[in-house]
A and B are shown apart, each in its own frame.
Chain A
Amino acid sequence: MSEAKEGQQHPLTVYLWIWLLLFVLSTFSYLVDYFQLQGYLRWSLIITFMLLKAGFIVAIFMHMAWERLALKLAILVPPLCLLILIGFMAIEGDYTFLTRGTAFLR
């Protein structure tokens, strides 16, 4: 931590490039729907563009890339336990679907 500079100061060009990149990625994810891509291609493209956009926003716009590792770990590691919730809820949803299928459809 130097005394001369406060907070997170970076060249403007970094922000402008990321801004442009976010526009391009958003256009791509819209085009996925516009061209009606379906199935695994659609889902993998949606997830890829989503993660890229989220990554650039957190890393550059929210300055996470330049923070100390202690803050990075404290903020970015806890959300990983959501993967367990998502996994359990997906299994539970499938089970409910099958149960409803056998109960309501003959």
Chain B
Amino acid sequence: MAHDAQAAAVGPLQQVAGDFATDKQAFTVPWGKAMMWIFLLSDTFIFSCFLTSYMNVRISTLDAWPNPSQVFALHLFGQDIPLILIAIMTFVLITSSGTMALAVNYGYRRDRRRTVQLLVATAVLGAAFVGMQAFEWTKLIMEGVRPWGNPWGAPQFGSSFFMITGFHGCHVSAGVIYLLVTAKRVASGFYDKRGSYETVEVAGLYWHFVDLVWVFIFAFFYLW
């Protein structure tokens, strides 16, 4: 508490200068959390490079870019609904982000049962997302989309699509495994023995990041 009062007295920038320049631990968070944030920062750069290269090929191609609204439409209830599968995937991922946030919260309350239930629910929603993505890939491959061409226009569409959504799908799949391992450890009382549930929050950071990346992919690849 003395620390906070002191920080309030010196102002935000002096606080930052103090955190970095004093001969002590720079970030007052558990090391796992600081390292997860730094990993996510590097991952931000990877996904940004993919999205920037996608922007570059889309600007520079002479062919018309396939209309994602029609490419990702599904024929449901006797009519073509534009982009519906992607919308459902977006809602599934946001739902999983919500259950993850609640899991972190219940972890800190030491409610093991609830935490495990919410973590497993998050993992199930993540697996559902990957399943829908597999369906989407299958559908597009059947329709003739390849990394080097497609029936509707600019050949770069396929390579951008498979690269960006494939890499994101790998992140979701890894996240599902990560969450299940965390859930198993919560269930076994591992974090109670350790006396800290901060690892659940760190797993949450990864999961929210996966959702965050999807927000950008949804905006730039599917809606643009």
Q: Is the CB of A68 within 8 A of B27?
A: yes
Q: Is the CB of B102 within 8 A of A92?
A: no
Q: Is the CB of B197 within 8 A of A33?
A: no
Q: Which residues of B contact A18 (CB under 8 A)?
A: 101
Say whether chain B's binding surface is mostly helix, strand, loop, or mixed: helix
Q: Which residue of B lies closest to A86 (CB)?
A: B52
**Residue in A10, A43, A57 with the greatest tally of chain B CB atoms within 10 Å:** A57
Contact count band on A: 35 or more
Distance, CA A34 to CA B81, complexed state (A): 8
In the assembled complex, the CB of B104 is this many whole angstroms from the nearest CB of chain A, namely 8
Task: For chain B, residues 2 to 61, give those with C-beta under 8 angstroms from any C-beta of chain A.
Answer: 3-4, 12-13, 15-16, 19-20, 26-30, 34, 37-38, 40-41, 44-45, 48-49, 52-53, 55-61
Task: For chain B, residues 42 to 96, give those with C-beta under 8 angstroms from any C-beta of chain A.
Answer: 44-45, 48-49, 52-53, 55-62, 69, 82-83, 87, 90-91, 94
CB of B223 within 8 A of chain A?
yes
Q: Is the CB of A90 within 8 A of B55?
A: yes
Q: Is the CB of B98 within 8 A of A19?
A: yes
Distance, CA A49 to CA B48, complexed state (A): 18
Among candidates B12, B62, B219, residue contacting A97 with C-beta atoms closer than 8 Å: B62
CB of B215 within 8 A of chain A?
yes
Distance, CA A61 to CA B97, complexed state (A): 8
Q: Which residues of A contact B37 (CB under 8 A)?
A: 71, 74-75
Q: Which residues of A contact B13 (CB under 8 A)?
A: 69
Q: Is the CB of A82 within 8 A of B45?
A: yes
Q: Which residue of B lies closest to A31 (CB)?
A: B87
Distance, CA A54 to CA B94, complexed state (A): 11
Distance, CA A32 to CA B82, complexed state (A): 11
In the assembled complex, the CB of B42 is this many whole angstroms from the nearest CB of chain A, namely 10
Distance, CA A67 to CA B33, complexed state (A): 11
Q: Which residues of B contact A40 (CB under 8 A)?
A: none
In the assembled complex, the CB of A49 is this many whole angstroms from the nearest CB of chain B, namely 7
In the assembled complex, the CB of A70 is this many whole angstroms from the nearest CB of chain B, namely 4
Q: Is the CB of B97 within 8 A of A34?
A: no
Q: Which residues of B contact A32 (CB under 8 A)?
A: 223
Q: Which residues of A contact B59 (CB under 8 A)?
A: 90, 93-94, 96-97
In the assembled complex, the CB of A22 is this many whole angstroms from the nearest CB of chain B, namely 5
Among candidates B38, B60, B105, B201, residue contacting A15 with C-beta atoms closer than 8 Å: B105
Closest 4 pairs between A and B when the two form their complex, measured CB to CB = A93-B59, A96-B60, A70-B19, A50-B219
24 A/B residue pairs, CB under 8 Å, sorted by A:
A1-B3, A2-B1, A5-B108, A6-B196, A7-B108, A15-B98, A19-B97, A26-B87, A32-B223, A33-B223, A46-B219, A47-B219, A57-B215, A61-B100, A62-B204, A62-B212, A73-B16, A74-B37, A78-B41, A93-B58, A93-B59, A94-B59, A96-B60, A97-B61
